[in-house]
Amino acid sequence: MSHSLKIGITCYPSLGGSGVVATELGKLLAELGHEVHFISHSVPFRLGTFHKNIFYHEVEVNDYYVFRYPPYDLSLATKMAQVAKREKLDILHVHYAVPHAVCAFLAKQMVGPDLKVVTTLHGTDITVLAQDESLKDLIRLAINESDAVTSVSKDLMRETQEVLDITRPIDLTYNFVDKRVYYPRDVASLRSDFAFPDEKILMHISNFRPVKRVSDVLDIFAQVSRNVPSRLLFVGEGPELPKIQWRIKELGLEDRVHFLGKQDEIAQIISLADVLLLPSEKESFGLVALEAMACGVPTIGSQAGGIPELVAHGETGYLAPIGDTRAMAEYAIHLLTHPQLETRTKEACLQRARTEFNSERITRQYEEIYYRVLEGKKTPLSPIY
């Protein structure tokens, strides 16, 4: 069961948590001796330095005049099949059902049944796309035809089963962070650029879409800053940004709120914070809360989606109903004004990140799933809750 495998990985190379997790997983699998082939339209942005077991195959789209839109899905399916045949891949591990699992299904039809397909559901394909009746049957096909399906939270698993009427087994495989990258950084000198020594730093990191409820972040901070000397740092970019900037002026908080834009060195940035704010209305997992936890930063957020599976309420952070900014603010004030509680919470964050969301442990879970499907078994090793 320990022989090395040839694994093809397809993800969105430049977007969101799913691309980060897929890329990090590929790197960890390569370190374990597996041969990993990334198949996508551009190099995944977290791929980093050369590794002898990692290969990248670019999908080029044919822009024939008969096509109104370039057919990326068909080009991807063809490339998957070509790479699988040439490199003798054992597994295609695709992240997101649409279009990637559909493309893998087509590739398998071209290559034959020995090529196995593992699909990881990250959220948007179920929480948004599966609500569209015109796509439901396609997503259901992609899921049912996969040799194994994994979900990054129990909540997403439940929603998949309900929305799509899926009865097949699904493996629970939480997201993870690499402890070699995510750990508390020494940012004392950098911190002085944003806050005085007696001030606390609250932080929000997102793509600033409406689902992130960024105005709630401001409401929470407005309440906190009246009681605790503090600053708010926004990290990221997105469509809600202009609205938020206007609201900051309206609240008279211009001198207390800083915009850092998009940042790559997330571990260093998060280490600046005393608290991460995540009041989203939908969050299939909430990778940023895990990245913060691994850096010893507690999250105060909403009881949405997979967040309660990640943030242990009263232990590594605090959660309140979606939109209850008063409760979230009160939790933040309580935490930030009790130094012993703050220290205890930070230590609990580090402990939970290193045990429950340990990268070695979750990489091994994926490995076990690969070996299982290659042996022709379909039952998950972890029971459906």
pLDDT digits (tens, 9 = 90+) for 98-152: 889 999 999 999 999 999 999 999 887 676 655 677 788 888 999 999 999 999 9
Do 273 and 292 meet the contact criterion of CB atoms below 8 Å apart? yes
pLDDT at 379: 63
Residue 285 predicted with pLDDT over 80 = yes
Do 306 and 314 meet the contact criterion of CB atoms below 8 Å apart? no
- pTM attached to this predicted model: 0.92
Across residues 316-344, what is the average pLDDT?
98
Could you give the C-alpha distances from 111 to 14, 77, 94, 114, in angstroms and in order?
28, 11, 16, 8
- The structure tokens listed for 380 are 């998950």
Could you give the C-alpha distances from 88 to 30, 49, 55, 85, 219, in angstroms and in order?
16, 25, 14, 5, 55
**CA neighbours within 13 Å on the CB side: how many for 226?**
10
**CA neighbours within 13 Å on the CB side: how many for 266?**
24
List the single range of 72-76, 236-240, 278-282, 378-382 with lowest mean pLDDT.
378-382
> In this structure, what are the phi and psi dihedrals at residue 183, rounded to the nearest 5 degrees?
-155, 160
Q: Which domains does the chain have, with CATH numbers?
A: 6-176+358-374 (3.40.50.2000), 188-355 (3.40.50.2000)
Instruction: For the chain, give the percent of residues with pLDDT over 90.
Output: 78
In whole numbers, what is the pLDDT of the chain averaged over residues? 92
Reported as type and span, the H/E element at residue 6 is strand 6-10
Across residues 219-225, what is the average pLDDT?
98
State the residue for tokens 């980060």. 20
pLDDT at 127: 62
Measure the CA–CA gap between 162 and 159, rounded to whole angstroms.
Answer: 5
Across residues 69-79, what is the average pLDDT?
89
- The structure tokens listed for 254 are 């211009």
Measure the CA–CA gap between 310 and 302, rounded to whole angstroms.
Answer: 12
pLDDT at 385: 37
> In this structure, what are the phi and psi dihedrals at residue 122, rounded to the nearest 5 degrees?
-110, -20
Across residues 219-235, what is the average pLDDT?
98
- The structure tokens listed for 285 are 């997992």
Burial class of 258 by CB neighbour count within 10 A (0 to 12, 13 to 18, 19+): middle
